[in-house]
């Protein structure tokens, strides 16, 4: 007998809160890098690292 997830709203809420926290962390990290380096290029490198890391770890 296959059990199903009984509380899908709880799962969706927790995933949403987790994604919101990751977004806030990423914005804070960008602001810290911009404050310390005064370089928009360094911030753009952070934005490029996310898809590159996802690509490299998906193999």
| Sign of the alpha-carbon dihedral angle for 15, 17, 20, 21 | negative
Q: What is the pLDDT of residue 36?
A: 96
Q: Cβ atoms within 10 A of the Cβ of 43, count?
A: 15
pLDDT digits (tens, 9 = 90+) for 16-59: 999 999 999 999 999 999 999 999 999 999 999 989 999 999 87
Q: What is the pLDDT of residue 50?
A: 87
Q: What is the pLDDT of residue 48?
A: 94
Residue ranges covered by each domain of the chain: 28-59
Global confidence as pTM: 0.71
Query: Per-residue confidence at 2, pLDDT binned at 50, 70, 90?
Result: low
């Amino acid at each position: 007998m296959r059990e199903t997830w009984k509380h899908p709203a709880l799962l969706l809420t927790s995933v949403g809160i987790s994604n919101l926290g990751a977004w806030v962390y990423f914005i804070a990290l960008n602001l810290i890098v911009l404050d310390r380096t005064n370089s928009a290029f360094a911030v753009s490198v952070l934005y490029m690292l996310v898809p590159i890391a996802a690509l490299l770890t998906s193999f």
